[in-house]
Structure 1
Amino acid sequence: MTLLDAPAPAPTVGSSARPPKTVEVYDFRRPTTLAREHSRALELAFETFARQWGTQLTAKVRVLSQVTCESVQMLTYDEYAASLPATTAMVLCPLEGVGPKAVVQFPASAALAWVGHMLGAAKPPVTPERTFTPIEQALVRRLIEDALDDLRYSFGGMLVDQIGVGGFQYNSQFAQAAQKSDLMIVAIFTIRVADRPSTATVALPAEVLLPQLGDATPAVGAAEARRLLGAQLASVPVGVSLQFAPAAVLPSVVLGLAVGDVLPLPHPQSRPLEIRVDGQPVGRAAVGANGSRLAGIVVSTSLTGTEEGTS
């Protein structure tokens, strides 16, 4: 029996089972992610859009609706398309002057339920995934047009390119909204219309949004970096101590110390004490007083090599 065929050891009595480790796949071809400042700005914009979208759906389908933004991330278009169901409704939204298209994706069955509410059904039946009829597509197109108006309002200056409703696709693997390697800002939403929840996504080309967000890590010149470093160091507290000259003592003397013993120090009374900052000598100071407390009167500094007379 080889090592690979050996049975796993049985857990001992009283041992706690370890939870399985979560492994996150790291793509070395795309090591960069959204900067924290960019991610927060996009989350705020998508959360505003979610509220607007929910209000718009409530007004259009005449049923209480709520939209919640669950997450925002940056993916390649290939990764985004692979994460979608094979059969779903995708609205491709061209952007003026930009090759990649934005995508609004949602289950076709959920959109058919929205249409049923718009046409007066109190509780539309659950419909399997299928393509829209011309009338259904016209009604869904109107909903998406209103949603894009809310998207432009929510993003403000971050979305400066004109965006419109293009074609409908029902197979996520065949929809060609962008090149496989194009980066997309993907937001995932939970849409609850009446008592029926569904998951939708909105994907926007990163090249449209990131330039408007600015540089999260602007370059700093050498002179400015030196000034910033000096300003930071000047505000960091450090420990300052006054020290006598060290005395060499045998271990036998140290082990025999008792209360009342006197240790002679090779430090003349007239010699100033050494000023140390975190163990590094920076000057000398004489023992003095500041009110009711002891103080050190600086007499020299090794940083400048000059004689001082201030405390």
Structure 2
Amino acid sequence: MEILTQAEIDALIASLMAEQEGQPQETKKEERPQPPRRVRTYDFRRPDKFSKDQLRSIQVIHEGFARLLTTFYTATFRTVVQLVVGSVDQMTYSEFIRSVSNPSVICPFTLSPLQGTCVLDINPVVAFPMIDRLLGGPGTALPRVRELTDIEQTVIMRVIRGTLEAYREAWSNLVELSPAPGGIETNPIFVQVAAPNEIVVTVAIDVRVGEHVGVITLCLPYLTLEPVIPKLTTRTWFGTRTVQEQPEGRAALARRISGAVVPLTVQLGTAELTIRELLDLQVGDLIVLDRRVDEELTVYVGNQPKFRARPGQRSGRLAVRLTGLVPKGEPEDDA
């Protein structure tokens, strides 16, 4: 084995250094420029607790809730009601409280067996028309928003209980919950169900009751939903819905509409009069209708012709006996 002397070692090192000094440009060519780092602002006061996939699952659940609520509200208020999920966001609880109008209709509620308390907020713009409809009115809004009276709180609590029952059904495909309402508050400052900096998810549902448009908002704290968060994935949700939702959804819808009240009327016949004949009508005048005595009558469900019937009486009251169905697409006059 050949051993180098110190002079030979120094000469070798010097030659290597000379080669490096003689090729500075080639060394630079081999170095690839690094792309600039992307820096994203992160607010430690508002950490994101819910992923986009989880927020999407929450939106799907509440879209089903809006459909159930549409059926319940339409049957309860006997007027056209439309509900659409407007937004699903995560924010701090203090930000949610600042977004609630004062006064408003605010109801804290629990979701047993989950821990903690959630919040249901019904905007007064639609809350007062709801109350007016339940009290027999046309569903008009107040010219000036005010706090609810004791009677109005009792009336709106009926709406809240039905709303939470629909909320239970909306979650039933994923987890069995038992919503229970608390008292009604009108000032959001007095509703302290979570720490100001706690992360919550808020679901805003746009509501139209007749001609009045408002918002129903649900506030769900992260700590309350934490036990079910692993289930809040689109794969779990859509898989569960494929197996269970269709039969259970139909059964739930049947339960909802079974209590709906619909008008049923029977048309005895029609007649055409001139304006002069109409003005000359007096008590005791006879109006001849366009139907014969032995002809069947048409029974209407709502404003749709559904049945054929013959008139009669029972127990001293006028009555009709159904004799058949009105074929689909048949003109109403073809009795």
Structure 2 runs not aligned, ≥5 long: 1-40, 234-335
Q: Structure 2 counterpart of 1:102, which letter? A: C
- The 1:98/1:116 distance shift into structure 2, 3 A limit, reads same
Equivalent in the alignment of 2:61: 45
Matched, 1:185 2:201: yes
1:113-137 deviations in Å (ceiling 9; x for gaps): 1111122222424342222222211
Equivalent in the alignment of 2:145: 129
Matched, 1:165 2:174: no
Cα shift at 1:105: 0.5
- The 1:92/1:159 distance shift into structure 2, 3 A limit, reads farther
Q: Structure 2 counterpart of 1:56, which letter? A: F
Q: Give the secondary-structure state (helix, strand or coil) at the position aligned to 2:83.
A: strand
- The 1:61/1:111 distance shift into structure 2, 3 A limit, reads same
Q: Which of 23, 32, 44 lines up with 1:28 in the alignment?
A: 44
Distance 2:84 2:231 in 1: 29
Equivalent in the alignment of 2:311: none
Equivalent in the alignment of 2:222: 206
- The 1:50/1:26 distance shift into structure 2, 3 A limit, reads farther
Residue correspondence of structure 1 range 80-159 to structure 2 within 5 A: 80-96=96-112, 100-156=116-172, 158-159=174-175
Residue correspondence of structure 1 range 136-285 to structure 2 within 5 A: 136-156=152-172, 158-214=174-230
What is the RMSD computed on CA atoms of the aligned residues? 2.5
- The 1:32/1:215 distance shift into structure 2, 3 A limit, reads farther
Q: Which of 64, 89, 93 lines up with 2:80 in the alignment?
A: 64
1:6-39 deviations in Å (ceiling 9; x for gaps): xxxxxxxxxxxxxxxxxxx963322325212211
1:69-107 deviations in Å (ceiling 9; x for gaps): 011112221111112223211111134466631111022
Runs of 4+ in 1 over 6 A off after TM superposition: none
- The 1:98/1:216 distance shift into structure 2, 3 A limit, reads closer
Cα shift at 1:205: 2.2
Paired-residue identity, %: 26
Q: Give the secondary-structure state (helix, strand or coil) at the position aligned to 1:188.
A: strand
Q: Which moved more, 1:157-166 or 1:59-68?
A: 157-166
Cα pair 1:50 1:67 within 8 Å, conserved: yes
Equivalent in the alignment of 1:74: 90
Distance 1:110 1:119 in 2: 15
Q: Give the secondary-structure state (helix, strand or coil) at the position aligned to 1:144.
A: helix
State the number of aligned residues.
194
Cα pair 1:107 1:199 within 8 Å, conserved: yes
Distance 1:120 1:169 in 2: 24
1:154-200 deviations in Å (ceiling 9; x for gaps): 11254544321101111112221222122222101110001110122
Distance 2:68 2:179 in 1: 17
Cα pair 1:113 1:125 within 8 Å, conserved: yes
More helix by share: 2
Distance 1:47 1:103 in 2: 18
Structure 1 runs not aligned, ≥5 long: 1-24, 218-311
Q: Structure 2 counterpart of 1:189, which letter? A: I
